[in-house]
Structure 1
Amino acid sequence: MKKFTRKLLTIAAPLALTSLPALSHDNVSPTYLPESHAPAGVMADHLHKQGEWMMGYRYMRQEFSGLYYGSGKTTAAAAAADGYSMVPTAMTMDMHMLDIMYAVNDSLTLMLMPQTMSMDMTMATSGGGHGDMQMGMEMDTQMPMHGTHSHGTSGVGDTIVAGLFRLSDGPSHKLHGTFGISAPTGDVDKKNSNGTYVHYGMQLGSGTWDLMPAITYSGARERISWGAQASARLPMEEENASGFQFGERYAATAWGAYRLQDWVSFSMRLGYTKQHDINGHYNGPHNHASPADLQANYGGEFVDVALGANLVAQRGRLAGVRLGLEWSSSVSAHFKGYQLGRDDGLNLSLSYAL
């Protein structure tokens, strides 16, 4: 992640330079204040004025390592005793999203968010081994039976279409709802070289039409701001074209921020996620050699903490350009079955309204 951090600094530096000397708060438009947007890890967090467009880019990276079972760390030997011949040792997930918003009026903003995804996983032999657990299932014959190997998937992910509607708009407190739909534009039929499906979690989309409701509150007083959001992802189909359905996902997050200067604010955020496991199973040949091949090894409850900064250029050619950066880390986790632990994460948002 060090190389990527250096790239972020090259983006942040011009924004900081075009904001100095910072203007006083009395001379800054409210839309130029950094706290008018939530931390970078929060989506669908704000509305726009009638006729206004916002063009944005978001990047999310999550790293995973270490084998866990329930709330504690476990070993490859324990997985082998449960019959797994392969165990994951590390994984990275990267998401690139366009964030396009248009305000029909002051109370309704539309949002379109297409995305691409890439995932890479490293695995190692454990010494155990599942047999042919279900009729028609194949063993993981493409994997070497010694040492480690890596594999990955990449491509277009699901596309989010949403409407954000204002519920309350006071001088210090705001409330809005979000009605979103996730369209299944991401593949759910990615396969290994021997024709078996890849791990469920390495498919690029859900494969189902999903409802994505949310409600977001924000408040501010002088240099201090705060907010909270509750959201969900609810599948509207029992199974996708590959025969399974990702479980429901519920999330809640709350944050506070302090504006150090008119062009920069710093934030702290706490997030909670509950993810159900997978329903159904692949309708074609797939493996049972590793935990990621079985539906019961998905889902759990997770608590993360995040530290971030929002920057807004106040003058020059970059005036109005926003950059949000946020680093996240796991506080506690309870995994269903055997899963990789959640390590550091990085959120970036870059946007401009016109």
Structure 2
Amino acid sequence: MKRLNVAFFMLLAAANVSTAHDDYRSRADKHAPAGLMGDHLHAPGEWMVEYKYMNMYMDGNRAGTQRLSDSEAIDFGATSNPVTNRMASPNNMTHEMHMVHIMRGMTEDITLYAMVMLPSITMDHTRGPMNAGGGGPGSLFTTHNSGFGDTTIGALIGLYTDSNDDVILNLGGSLPTGDIFRTTSIPSGGTMEQPLPYPMRLGSGTFNARPGITWKHYFDVGSFGTQFQTDLPIGRNYRDYSVSDEFRLNNWYSQLLTNNLSTSIRVENLWRTNYDGADPMTPDAMISTNVESFRGGYTLNLGLGAAALLHGHLLNVEFVPMLYQDLNGIQLETDWSIVTSWSKSF
């Protein structure tokens, strides 16, 4: 009887979690967690279409590792170098992103991809001590911007593969299709037009190189991976600045519950440099989101995700709370983001 029970449970496990190497890349964990891209290849002639949605929420300001209240952010700006937040101070921001992603396998080792992005950005502010517009100092206002963002294109190249491992080089880049100069009169109460600050602009304004590399290892009940990804602006844009150099190091583990359902945990290290150059129409003292030397820093994020494979449709979701931030100058802190996606290969 004991041998029969053991045999039964072995058969049950085999039905739920495949041990066959050929099935490793057709399970719910075949893609990285929802917050990542550039981690898998497609067979020659195979297409993949994906819709991805991201919502990032930023609430309150931070100077280095110190969290500041809205009033403290204005006071801090009076003594910062450079002086800032004299006209307004940001309170919170919601950054939504709709993404349409298309991939096609060209050879066994080369997959091409393109992604169109549509950001929608809303930021709440408090008017500063030198702002007589609207309701005067201490009054609140909201600005919004949306439209087409930068377009990402690239090639994924398989450097090594065996029964359990994939090493993939990402030779990607972005095209400056996002608008980087729109104005608003809301901060001044309708008396003066001024450019939207840097975090509210829809693109970088430059061609960006985005090289990266991913290693994934599959085993019977799950997989793990590591990815290093960069985003490097080439030169300055027509407003005479370039956005941050960005470096991301991600490590994740995915656990199969069944072949069609998995959970994941991810740790992300994110480094950003300050901006180079300056838009001549964004004076530092106006608001901290205009200060080029207040754009860099380090962020540590945690990703908690799940994926379901249903009749060839892959549904992927990930919640990403911020664990730690050390920011240059004074900036809005990132509290959390959520990423969801649907994809289908054919």
Choose from 8, 25, 46 the match for 2:18: 25
Amino acid paired to 1:44: G
Contact 1:95 1:115 in 2 (8 A): yes
RMSD between aligned residues: 2.0
1:217 aligns with 2:181: no
Alignment equivalent of 2:263, drawn from 263, 266, 269: 266
- 1:64 equivalent in alignment to 2:58: yes
The answer on whether the counterparts of 1:197 and 1:287 sit within 8 Å (CA) in structure 2 is: no
Match of 1:179 in 2: 171
TM-score, with normalisation over the residues of structure 2?
0.87
Return the offset for 1:32: 3.4
Which residue of structure 2 aligns with residue 9 of structure 1? none
Residue in 2 that maps onto 1:235: 233
In structure 1, C-alpha distance between the alignment counterparts of 2:174 and 2:33, rounded to whole Å? 22
Quote the sequence identity (%).
27
* Amino acid paired to 2:304: L
Q: Which runs of 5 or more structure 2 residues have no equivalent in the other structure?
A: 1-14, 186-191
Go from structure 1 to structure 2 and tell me whether the alpha carbon gap of 1:104 and 1:140 turns closer, same or farther (over 3 Å shift). Answer: farther
Contact 2:197 2:282 in 1 (8 A): no
Q: Would the aligned equivalents of 1:140 and 1:289 in 2 still touch at CA under 8 Å? A: no
Partner residue of 1:312 out of 283, 298, 309: 309
| Distance across 1 between alignment mates of 2:181 and 2:237 | 10
Q: Please state if 1:350 is matched with 2:342.
A: yes
Runs of 4+ in structure 1 off by over 6 angstroms are none
Please name the residue that 1:91 is paired with: 93
Give the drift of 1:126: 4.5
1:169-194 deviation per Cα after TM superposition (whole angstroms, max 9, x unaligned) = 11111101010110000001111233
How far did 1:295 drift? Answer: 1.1
Deviations 1:118-148, CA, capped at 9 Å, x for gaps: 1100011344x4xxxxxxxxx8967843311
Instruction: Go from structure 1 to structure 2 and tell me whether the alpha carbon gap of 1:257 and 1:198 turns closer, same or farther (over 3 Å shift).
Output: same
2:144 is matched with 152
CA deviations over 1:98-133 (Å, ceiling 9, x no partner):
110000011000000011101100011344x4xxxx
Structure 1 residue 195 and structure 2 residue 193: aligned? yes
Partner deviation per Cα, 1:47-106 (whole Å, 9 max, x = no partner)? 001110001111111100111101111223532533523211111001111110000011
Q: Cα deviation per residue 1:278-323 (whole Å; 9 max; x = unaligned)?
A: 111113465732111211221111110010001101xxxxx10001
8 Å CA contact 2:38–2:170 kept in 1: the answer is: yes
Aligned residue pairs, count: 317
2:39 is paired with a residue whose SS is: coil
CA contact (8 A) 1:322 1:350 kept: yes
Q: CA deviation at 1:201?
A: 1.3
Q: Aligned match of 1:277 in 260, 268, 274?
A: 274
Tell me, yes or no, if the aligned pair for 2:115 and 2:152 is still in contact at 8 Å: yes
TM-score by length of 1: 0.85
Q: Call closer, same or farther: CA 1:292–1:142 in 2, change over 3 Å.
A: farther
State the AA in 2 paired with 1:88: P
Q: What is the letter of the counterpart of residue 213 of structure 2?
A: I
Contact kept, 8 Å, 1:76 with 1:126, in 2: the verdict is no
Counterpart residue number, 1:205: 203
Counterpart in 2 of 1:132? none
Whether the 8 Å CA contact 2:17–2:220 is kept in 1: the answer is no
Secondary structure of 2:54 counterpart: strand
Instruction: Determine if contact 2:17/2:221 at 8 Å carries over to the other structure.
Output: no
1:258-288 C-alpha deviation (Å, 9 max, x unpaired) = 0001111000000011111111111346573
Give the distance between the partners of 2:165 and 2:62, measured in 1 at CA. 41
Q: Do 2:41 and 2:156's aligned partners in 1 also have CA atoms closer than 8 Å?
A: yes
